[in-house]
Structure 1
Amino acid sequence: MSDIPENASPSADKPARQSRAGLTSTGARKASAKSERSRAREFALQALYQHLVGRNTPAAIDAFTRDLAGFHKADSAHYDALLHGCIAQAEELDTLITPLLDRPMAEISPIEHGVMWIGAYELQHCLDVPWRVVLNECIEMAKEFGGTDGHKYVNGILNGLAQKLRTTEIAAEQAKGQGGKPRG
């Protein structure tokens, strides 16, 4: 016989799972908890997807995206930099990313491709955004919009890219004892 009382549930000794404020049941941030820059990244990802899949022109993509619900809550200057910068520098960004891939770029989903463009662009051109923030934001987008384990792949690629593009910033963190590689 068991020592568990009949009226006790098998998990009675475990505390009830607490929901974290600002997160959905899948762990993604709720829209109301997102910053203007996070929203800008998401709109830029949607726009880059249209570019990668539909081959739409940047002007048509931009006009369409600016009419989407919630765009007014995004940092439009950051969105502009990401959309137009990623498209204008697509070849250069792919050249940075490709050596870190374990498969041809053609086998990477357009979502993960767009997320990696955003990450590579921000690591290279948005030096006001800490490298860990770039990685975290891109991982979150890959979790929310990408395939099941796409965020792990994006993390590995962008972490490798950060080691190359943000060497000084990472070295400064290591000197302060904060470590040089993100978790996850």
Structure 2
Amino acid sequence: MSNSKTNARKAAVQAIYQWQITGQNLNLIEQYFIDEQFFSEGEDVQRTYFSELFHGVPQNLIAIDELLSGFVDREVDAIDPVERAVLRLATYELLYAQDTPYKVIINEAINLAKDFGADGSHRYINGILDKVAQKQRPDEIKVKIQKES
């Protein structure tokens, strides 16, 4: 299942990027990704999670960008579009996908940045998302630290 979510995240970050750049209708972009067979045959988990992520980011954009703005060194809209898509996707998951451990979300975002972003962008993403996780999931982080001690 985790591979399914990884594939869903890869498609979602590309769809979010396309939406940010073009401003196209979400349903049209979503249909494009489904039609172009970004998902394995019969892989409903991928498609369902992709849709949840892709629609969740725009629906919660104000909350996501307000949270990010406290941790970035510039206006959110001034961040490179690929990095912005990765940050928005991961922040959405940190806020609303409580069943997914924060470390998994951050590691997936780092991998997305390595796959799609500029050289070194994964370090920028990691630094910001660590701060977002500390703010949004302090109890989860505290438990992890206590287990490691």
2:139 is equivalent to residue 139 of structure 1: no
Residue 166 of structure 1 deviates from its aligned partner by 0.8
Residue 91 of structure 1 deviates from its aligned partner by 1.5
2:76 is equivalent to residue 109 of structure 1: no
- Deviation string for 1:31-55 (max 9, x for gaps)? xxx8110000010011101110011
User: Which residues of structure 1 form unaligned runs of 5+?
Assistant: 1-33, 179-184
- Deviation string for 1:160-184 (max 9, x for gaps)? 0000111111011111126xxxxxx
Contact kept, 8 Å, 2:110 with 2:125, in 1: the verdict is yes
Alignment equivalent of 2:20, drawn from 34, 42, 52: 52
- Deviation string for 1:113-155 (max 9, x for gaps)? 1101111111111111111000000000001100111111110
Tell me which amino acid in the other structure corresponds to 1:47.
Answer: A
Residue 70 of structure 1 deviates from its aligned partner by 3.4
2:3 alignment partner in structure 1: 35
The structure carrying a bigger helix percent of its residues is 2
Contact kept, 8 Å, 2:11 with 2:38, in 1: the verdict is no
2:137 is equivalent to residue 166 of structure 1: yes
Tell me the TM-score normalised to structure 2 length.
0.92
Tell me which amino acid in the other structure corresponds to 2:106.
Answer: L
1:97 alignment partner in structure 2: 68
For the residues of structure 1 that align with 2:36 and 2:92, how far apart are their CA atoms?
A: 24
RMSD value, Cα: 1.4
For the residues of structure 1 that align with 2:3 and 2:105, how far apart are their CA atoms?
A: 13
Matched position secondary structure for 1:71: coil
Matched position secondary structure for 2:57: helix
What is the percentage of aligned positions where both structures have the same residue?
A: 32
For the residues of structure 2 that align with 1:124 and 1:103, how far apart are their CA atoms?
A: 21
Tell me the TM-score normalised to structure 1 length.
0.75
Residue 105 of structure 1 deviates from its aligned partner by 1.9
Structure with higher RCO (Cα < 8 A, 6+ apart): 2
Tell me which amino acid in the other structure corresponds to 2:123.
Answer: K
Tell me which amino acid in the other structure corresponds to 2:33.
Answer: T
Tell me which amino acid in the other structure corresponds to 1:53.
Answer: I
Higher Cα Rg, which structure? 1
1:119 alignment partner in structure 2: 90
- Deviation string for 1:10-64 (max 9, x for gaps)? xxxxxxxxxxxxxxxxxxxxxxxx8110000010011101110011110111111
Alignment equivalent of 2:51, drawn from 69, 80, 83: 80
* Large movers: runs of 4+ above 4 Å: none
For the residues of structure 2 that align with 1:109 and 1:69, how far apart are their CA atoms?
A: 27
